[in-house]
């Protein structure tokens, strides 16, 4: 149903559908509707939360005429349900953080409003300031709906001293990237001989994200697609999936990888220097700096093809409001522009700034190890563009519950492949609850 302005009118069905997106109760927030006041919702906790608060303090100091009211909510489906319900009830904040992978769930039902590119340019922001892939994913049906803040890719951490003793570093103390899966296996064997424990530490249990992110990294390297280009049918390549899962399971069978660890357990094990390698998102950089271990980082190596890596992107969006003036939009765009121009501080936690003037700046280039995997920004692989994908989504939860057990041999590869196929088809058969 379309309103007079051509946008999707928010109906009772949309309101109920928004609840289905995350499955928790309605929580609302009052929109500001006033010049000089800005309400901002985000989902940043831990080190990211501290950094965001510092960036907001800088904004307040530079813009004393603006009353900024920020709210931090719990990461994942709870955040997205609250945001969806507030938008559906027309009681949304002025601006909010959203993962680009979640855009297909929010834009079709009118839960977020399109961004005016001309007004955005008046704030000094345009397409030329972002990687082409992230800018493309900021659109839906040809309209701009998001302003990317960063990208956070799957990366490889390694213990420098362990890898040096294992003979894996070059004359400049740089890790030699493996040329394919068997070279990686050899590297893991070498580091296991040094540690006497593990070659690779990774999360395969709990409610974390590594099993999906690792699978999607390798599957995309191999040229695999889950869906047809229109996102309506399965393109599940069983041969590629089986090959990847058999390889990952074989690493565990040889005793080269950790087993049954959740995210906290994997972090603790690598921090205790009982593994040469650690696979995770880049956001743990501060954790290992504070642990004072000799680590470094690199973009995830190309094992089954080019060195592509799974990623998502934090972005700014306009939650739906029935009336938003040009003046209010400019206030929001200037707020986003301020954070983008100062996103070198955001990069200190590991995320790659999406704003290219910062990503190419001397300040960011000098950051170690944060800038060492910067090149992946042009090759990041976001989730398929469907409503059930993206950070903290149903697809992540349901596929991770299969992939983790396969990786550490609690489930056979054959059973895992069949279960993945069923989950994917079930998701495809479920309509977007807010479209």
**pLDDT value of position 385:** 95
**pLDDT value of position 340:** 98
Phi–psi pair at 203, nearest 5 degrees: -85, 125
Which class does domain 153-311+393-429 fall in? alpha beta
Domains 12-149+313-374 and 153-311+393-429 belong to one CATH topology? yes
Find out if CATH 3.40.190.10 is the number for domain 12-149+313-374.
yes
Residue 7 tokens read as 């946008």
**pLDDT value of position 15:** 45
C-alpha span between 356 and 336 (Å, rounded) = 15
C-alpha span between 83 and 26 (Å, rounded) = 9
Q: Is 172:147 a contact under the CB 8 Å cutoff?
A: no
Q: Is 215:416 a contact under the CB 8 Å cutoff?
A: no
Domain ranges of the chain: 12-149+313-374, 153-311+393-429
Instruction: Tell how strand 150-159 and strand 295-299 pair up.
Output: antiparallel
Per-residue pLDDT tens for 4-31?
Answer: 333 344 444 444 454 445 443 333 333 4
**Among 338, 341, 433, 350, CA closest to 106:** 433
Q: What is the mean pLDDT of each run of 10 residues along the chain (435 residues)?
A: 37 46 39 68 93 96 95 89 89 96 92 97 97 96 97 97 97 92 98 96 91 98 96 96 98 96 96 97 94 96 97 97 92 98 95 97 96 94 95 92 96 98 96 77
H/E stretch holding 418:
helix 413-429
Per-residue pLDDT tens for 181-219?
Answer: 999 999 999 999 999 999 999 999 988 889 999 999 999
C-alpha span between 226 and 91 (Å, rounded) = 36
**pLDDT value of position 432:** 83
């Amino acid at each position: 149903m379309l309103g007079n302005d051509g946008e999707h009118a928010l109906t009772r069905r949309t309101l109920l559908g928004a609840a289905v997106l995350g499955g928790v109760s309605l929580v609302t927030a009052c929109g500001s509707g006033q010049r000089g006041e800005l309400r901002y919702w985000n989902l940043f906790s831990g080190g990211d939360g501290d950094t965001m608060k510092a960036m907001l303090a800088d904004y307040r100091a530079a813009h004393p005429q603006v009353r900024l009211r920020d709210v931090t909510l719990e990461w994942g489906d709870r955040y997205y349900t609250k945001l969806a319900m507030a938008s559906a009830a027309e009681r949304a904040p002025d601006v909010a953080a959203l993962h680009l992978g979640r855009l297909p769930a929010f834009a079709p039902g009118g839960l977020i409003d399109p961004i005016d590119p001309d007004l955005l340019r008046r704030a000094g922001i345009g397409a030329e300031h972002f990687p082409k892939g992230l800018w493309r994913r900021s659109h839906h049906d040809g309209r701009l709906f998001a302003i990317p803040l960063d990208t956070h890719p799957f990366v490889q951490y390694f213990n420098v001293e362990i890898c040096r003793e294992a003979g894996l570093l070059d004359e400049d103390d740089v890790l030699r990237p493996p040329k394919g899966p068997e070279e990686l296996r050899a590297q893991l064997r070498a580091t296991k001989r040094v540690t006497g424990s593990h070659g690779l530490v990774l999360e395969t249990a709990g409610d974390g994200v590594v099993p999906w992110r690792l699978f999607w990294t390798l599957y995309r390297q191999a040229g695999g697609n889950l869906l047809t280009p229109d996102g309506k049918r399965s393109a599940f390549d069983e041969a590629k999936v089986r090959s990847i899962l058999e390889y990952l399971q074989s690493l565990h069978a040889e005793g080269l990888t950790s087993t049954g660890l959740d995210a906290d357990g994997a972090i603790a094990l690598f921090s205790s220097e009982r593994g040469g390698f650690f696979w995770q998102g880049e956001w743990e950089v501060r954790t290992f700096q504070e642990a004072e271990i000799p680590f470094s980082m690199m973009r995830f190596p190309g094992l089954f093809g080019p060195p592509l890596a799974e990623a998502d992107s934090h972005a700014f969006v306009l939650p739906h409001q029935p009336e938003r003036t040009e003046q209010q939009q400019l206030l929001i765009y200037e707020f986003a522009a301020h954070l983008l121009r100062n996103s070198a501080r955001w990069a200190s936690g590991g995320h790659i700034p999406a704003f290219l003037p910062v990503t190419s700046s001397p300040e960011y280039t000098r950051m170690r190890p944060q800038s060492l995997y910067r090149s992946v920004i042009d090759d990041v692989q976001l989730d398929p563009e469907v409503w059930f994908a993206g950070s903290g989504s149903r697809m992540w939860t349901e596929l991770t519950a299969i992939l983790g057990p396969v990786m550490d041999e609690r489930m056979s590869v054959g059973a895992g492949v069949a279960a993945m196929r069923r989950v994917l088809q079930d998701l495809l058969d479920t309509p977007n609850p807010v479209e």
